């Protein structure tokens, strides 16, 4: 190699190192050539974080996944398991402001409040209810569509090269109504779904009983959505993905993140209870627990913990054959490995309080009404926390030029949109082309509000 060629190579390496802050070189054992490797740290080992880590490894980065708990044991464990491609319509539909007080006072409606928490909740709640109008609902639904509408395809793409495709089950997704009139009361929501390309097939009478023989007599109308899917064990699925990530050369560290080190406006390290981890890029994928880390970076995100419950009716018989949303109770019933998981309920009460009895009692009552002949060997209760931004849109993107990227705030669509979000984040970090407009999800969109 000539001296001139050596000089040019050195210049190129130094230019790359200036462009990619703190990127650490190492020598290839085979050739001795200096190879520049970027290191990304992903905080959060739920479906969004693990998906981000896998796609980043595929893009050629060194990746460390950090969480205070084992992968797949948090909120990603407890969801309804449905890959809800049609779930682009936010809760904040027109009329919610007027309906909410009656919902809270109705013991049979799946909305609960720990009233002592109301003073802390109120600033977020005012922003949240401010979106309960036609224009904002349509805008949010349009912006959520790219994140959820190809969910099954995105999960398959995530799993395909890892040999984990069996975890993803393709299926119909049903909405169960007491009557055709109850279905028609939700015409506004169905109009928005149809605008996104999701048109239901309606069945009733003997056809309904043949399709779902175990439904109770009070359910007389089903709206069936084709081309959906579900995961039979969401926690086991995320754990399998995390194990595959390690097989790709990724690193998992169980530790609590205490702080982020910034140098000249860009991230250079993460401070954890198990020591400092140097990094070139950082991904925040810790759901509602991302808010304190955002505050350390100078951003106050209007994000609230929406407490969600599930009951697993272990080894259940005479339950549903397909995953479904029981509209009267606003809960999802999904046949899983353990049994029938019924998940739903909205409760506001923060992160610290333990589970309430009333939401679980209602969920149990609603499940028994929908499937009156169901038998189970045991009932397993669970409480988790959905990350709810005030505008119902996830935060996906880079904070300024800090090399800190956000991937949280998915509200009810974490499992559905996790692989797509991870793919987008990896594409941003790796400089790959992205065909999705990320402006609606920008992490700094609340700055001037």
Mind listing the pLDDT tens digit for each residue in 388-434? 999 999 999 999 999 999 999 999 999 999 999 999 999 999 999 88
What pLDDT is attached to residue 406? 98
**DSSP code at position 394:** -
Secondary structure element (H or E) that encloses residue 123, with its range: helix 118-129
What pLDDT is attached to residue 34? 38
Q: At what angle do helices 414-430 and 134-148 cross, to 10 degrees?
A: 70
What pLDDT is attached to residue 26? 38
Please calculate the CA angle 219-224-225 and round it to the nearest 5 degrees: 145
Per-residue pLDDT for 30 more than 70? no
Q: Which residues contact 426 (CB under 8 A, 6 or more apart)?
A: 52, 55, 56, 58, 59, 432
How crowded is residue 19: how many other Cβ atoms within 10 Å of its Cβ?
Answer: 8
pLDDT digits (tens, 9 = 90+) for 227-274: 999 999 999 999 999 999 999 999 999 999 999 999 999 999 999 999
Q: How confident is the model at residue 108 (pLDDT cuts 50, 70, 90)?
A: confident
Mean pLDDT, range 72-83, rounded to an integer: 95
Per-residue pLDDT for 124 more than 50? yes
Q: How confident is the model at residue 14 (pLDDT cuts 50, 70, 90)?
A: very low
DSSP-assigned letters across all residues of 289-303: GHHHHHHHTT----E
d(CA 395, CA 389): 8
Could you tell me if 269 and 281 are in contact, meaning their C-beta atoms sit under 8 angstroms apart?
Answer: no
What pLDDT is attached to residue 449? 56
Strands (E) across 38-195 are located at: 39-43, 62-67, 82-83, 111-113, 168-177
Q: At what angle do helices 47-58 and 234-247 cross, to 10 degrees?
A: 20
Cα distances from 26 to residues 33, 40, 234, 279, in angstroms, run 8, 16, 38, 15
pLDDT digits (tens, 9 = 90+) for 144-161: 999 999 999 999 999 989
Domains in the chain, CATH or no CATH each: 3-74+237-301+393-441 (3.50.50.60), 79-232+303-389 (3.30.9.10)
pLDDT digits (tens, 9 = 90+) for 274-310: 999 999 999 999 999 999 999 988 899 999 999 999 9
Q: Which residues contact 276 (CB under 8 A, 6 or more apart)?
A: 261, 269, 270
Nearest alpha-carbon partner for 327 in 172, 183, 181, 111: 183
Cα distances from 148 to residues 91, 345, 394, in angstroms, run 15, 21, 11
How crowded is residue 272: how many other Cβ atoms within 10 Å of its Cβ?
Answer: 19
Could you tell me if 324 and 175 are in contact, meaning their C-beta atoms sit under 8 angstroms apart?
Answer: yes
Please calculate the CA angle 314-355-414 and round it to the nearest 5 degrees: 70
What pLDDT is attached to residue 2? 36
What pLDDT is attached to residue 106? 86
Could you tell me what percent of the chain has a pLDDT over 70? 92
Phi (first) and psi of residue 323, to 5 degrees = -65, 140
d(CA 302, CA 395): 11
337: exposed, middle or buried (Cβ count in 10 Å: 0-12, 13-18, 19+): exposed
Could you tell me if 284 and 408 are in contact, meaning their C-beta atoms sit under 8 angstroms apart?
Answer: yes
């Amino acid at each position: 190699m000539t001296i001139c060629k050596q000089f040019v190579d050195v210049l190129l390496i130094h230019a790359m190192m200036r462009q990619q802050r703190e990127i650490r070189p190492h020598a290839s054992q085979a050739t001795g050539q200096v190879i520049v490797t970027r290191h990304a740290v992903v905080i959060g080992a739920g479906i969004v974080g693990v998906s981000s880590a896998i796609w980043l490894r595929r893009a050629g980065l060194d990746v460390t996944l950090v969480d205070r708990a084992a992968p797949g044991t948090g909120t990603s464990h407890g969801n309804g398991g449905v890959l809800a491609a049609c779930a682009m319509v936010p809760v904040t539909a027109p009329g919610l402001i007027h309906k909410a007080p009656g919902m809270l006072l109705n013991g049979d409606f799946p909305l609960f409040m720990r009233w002592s928490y109301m003073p802390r909740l109120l600033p977020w709640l005012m922003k949240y209810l401010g979106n309960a109008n036609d224009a904002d609902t349509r805008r949010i639904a349009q912006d959520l569509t790219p994140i959820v509408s190809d969910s099954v395809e995105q999960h398959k793409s995530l799993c395909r090269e890892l040999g984990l495709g069996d975890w993803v089950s393709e299926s119909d997704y049903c909405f169960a109504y007491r009557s055709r009139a109850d279905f028609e009361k939700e015409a506004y929501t169905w109009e928005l779904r149809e605008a996104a390309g999701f048109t239901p097939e309606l069945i009733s009478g003997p056809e309904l009983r043949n399709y779902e023989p175990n439904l109770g007599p009070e359910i007389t109308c089903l709206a069936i959505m084709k081309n959906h899917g579900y995961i039979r064990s969401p926690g086991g699925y995320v754990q399998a993905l995390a194990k595959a990530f390690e097989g790709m050369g990724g690193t998992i560290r169980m530790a609590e993140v205490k702080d982020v080190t910034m140098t000249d406006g860009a991230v250079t390290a993460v401070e954890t209870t198990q020591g400092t981890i140097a990094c070139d890029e950082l991904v925040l994928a810790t759901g509602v627990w991302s808010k304190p880390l955002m505050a350390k970076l100078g951003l106050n995100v209007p994000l609230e913990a929406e407490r969600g419950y599930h009951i697993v009716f272990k080894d259940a018989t005479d339950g549903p054959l397909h995953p479904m949303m029981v509209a009267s109770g606003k809960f999802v019933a999904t046949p899983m490995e353990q049994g029938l998981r019924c998940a739903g309920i909205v409760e506001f009460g923060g992160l610290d309080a333990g589970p309430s009895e009333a939401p679980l009692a209602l969920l149990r009552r609603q499940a028994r009404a929908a499937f009156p002949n169901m038998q189970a060997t045991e009932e397993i209760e669970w409480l988790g926390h959905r990350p709810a931004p005030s505008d119902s849109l996830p935060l996906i993107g880079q904070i300024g030029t800090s090399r800190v990227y956000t991937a949280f705030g998915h509200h009810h669509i974490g499992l559905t949109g996790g692989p797509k979000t991870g793919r987008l984040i990896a594409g941003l970090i790796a400089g790959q082309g992205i065909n999705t407009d990320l402006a609606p999800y920008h992490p700094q969109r609340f700055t001037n509000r």
